[in-house]
Amino acid sequence: MASKKQIFLPLAVLVGGIGAAVAFSAMKQPPEKKSEQVVHPLVEAKPITVAPMQLNVDSYGLVKPKYSTELVAQVSGQVIAVSDAFVKGGFVKKGDVLARIDPNDYEAALIEAEANLARASSALEIEQAQAHVAKTEWQRIKDNANATIPSELYLRKPQLAEKLASFRAAQASVKRAKRNLERTYIKAPYDAIIESRNLSLGSVVNAGSQFGVLNATSVAEIRLPVADNELQYLVNGGINANVTLTAQVEGKPAKWQGKIVRSEGVIDQRSRMTYLVAQVDKPYSDKRTALRFGAYLNATIDGKTIDSAAAIPQHLVKNNRIAILNNDQTLSFKPINIVREYNGHTIVDAGVNNGEQLITSALEYPTEGMQLRLNDAMAPVTDTQLALKEE
């Protein structure tokens, strides 16, 4: 049998442990209850800038010459000379001789015409002298009472008219012969760049044969398509508006200034666009950044100017309203007047003030007057904060 000591000793230890646990439990203090804190949504904002703004219109187009001429032969013959500048891409000045047609036949025709003119002139002078003699004789015998009125033939008026007509015809022949001789020279009608040449030395041409095509370098034109709803942003439909043209030249950006000179006045049936025509004077004046014919350009046409306007990112405008962060860190929805949507921005001319904080963060359930927190990284730095940073 177990002794009393073996029985009561474990019981005593158990009771002691329970008592110690109760004592320690009584000494433990309950945790303090913390007050619940409301965490307001964190947002980012940026100030709105209100300033004068120009509503420009973007377009594009190809550079073409204002004047392009197809050179054709006006007389026939063999080409006996061709200028070294008369090649594709060559530059020529007004009056430069590009080619020469054999002039021998036309020189001979001029000599013959001049000879006929000399004969006609001589015959006219003789006839004028005879008409003068006839008139003098009539003056001498007209006092005779039996004298009758002389006939036109007696006074040699028909003969004189015939000789005068022959003289004028001979003058016309000389003029025609000189003109044909001059036409053996194929000349540039203006400063130009050669687009093409179709004939070479030794070619035989007839009247109407094509020599080549020249493009005038005095003025370049660019047809700029503009959507009908974009015309409202241009003054006077864009006529006389300045236009900035940009392109890449030798891999580098280049810029030219032009002017809208006219509208084609119709809507293109395929593109449904209205075409405005811009002109640039002397496109080849600067050889390094020449505005070459055939180049593709981007264009920006100067439009109307708004005295006070702001550009708001388009995704921040909902139902013609924007979310503003007030000074007390609350949200307000402000209605705005939209003038235009352009390049991902909404142009506004009413409903905003300069310096107002536009909320740029996305809020899940935004409500009027809801309390917000501004992201410290986006908040404006005060003078005190700036001084602490410098220290």
User: Residues 189, 248: one domain?
Assistant: no
Domain boundary among 195, 215, 235: 215
Neighbours of 132 (CB within 10 A): 13
**C-alpha dist (Å) from residue 295 to 64, 66, 224, 255, 330:** 8, 14, 13, 13, 54
Do residues 172 and 283 share a domain? Answer: no
pLDDT tens-digit profile of 105-133? 999 999 999 999 999 888 888 878 777 77
- pLDDT of amino acid 385: 39
Same domain? For 246 and 364 the reply is: no
pLDDT of residue 297 exceeding 90, the answer is yes
Single residue among 215, 230, 264 that ends a domain in this structure = 215
Q: Is the pLDDT of residue 383 over 70?
A: no
Please identify which residue in the block is written with the tokens 């063999």: 78
67 near 190, Cβ under 8 Å? yes
- At 260, which helix (H) or strand (E)? strand 252-267
- Residue 224, Cβ density class (10 Å: 0-12 exposed, 13-18 middle, ≥19 buried): buried
CATH number at residue 209: 2.40.50.100
Residues 224 and 292 in one domain: yes
213-232 pLDDT, tens digit each: 999 999 999 999 999 889 99
Beta carbons of 323 and 316 less than 8 angstroms apart: yes
- For residue 1, the model assigns a pLDDT of 47
Judged by average pLDDT, the poorest of 24-28, 176-180, 211-215, 341-345 is 24-28
Q: Is residue 156 part of a domain?
A: yes
Question: Cα(21)–Cα(28) distance, rounded to whole angstroms?
Answer: 11
Q: Coil, helix or strand for 390? A: helix
Establish if 19 belongs to a structural domain: no
Residue 86: what pLDDT?
A: 93
Do 84 and 190 have their domain in common? Answer: yes
> How many residues are there in the chain?
391
First to last CA, the chain: 87
Task: Fill in the amino acid letter for 207.
Answer: A
Collapsing DSSP states into helix, strand and coil, what is residue 107? helix
Residue 151 in domain: yes
Residues 258 and 146 placed together within one structural domain of the fold:
no
> What is the pLDDT averaged over residues 145-166?
69
Last residue of a domain, one of 194, 215, 236: 215
Q: Could you give the residue ranges of the DSSP H alpha helices within the chain? A: 4-27, 104-141, 157-182, 383-390
Q: Are residues 272 and 282 in the same domain?
A: yes
How many domains, the chain?
4
Domain encompassing residue 204: 70-101+184-215
**Which range is least confidently modeled, 127-131, 319-323, 329-333?**
127-131
75 lies in the same domain as 206: yes
Asked if 137 and 174 sit in the same domain, the reply is yes
CATH number for the domain that contains residue 299: 2.40.30.170
Residues 357-371 have pLDDT tens digits of 888 888 888 888 888
| 22 in any annotated domain | no
Mean per-residue pLDDT, 310-337: 89
**Does residue 346 lie within any of the structural domains?**
yes
- Give the Cα separation of 369 and 330 in Å (integer): 5
277 vs 317, residue with greater confidence: 277
CA–CA separation, 159 vs 156, rounded Å? 5
Residue 36 resides in a domain: no
245 strand-pairing partners: 256, 299
267 and 318 housed in the same domain? no
> What angle is formed at CA 315 by the lines to CA 309 and CA 317, rounded to 5 degrees?
55
Any domain includes 367? yes
Q: Is residue 153 included in any domain, yes or no? A: yes
pLDDT band, very low/low/confident/very high, at 58 (cuts 50, 70, 90): very high
Task: For residues 130 and 84, state if they share a domain.
Answer: no
Give me the chain's average pLDDT, please: 84
Same domain, yes or no, for 113 and 151?
yes
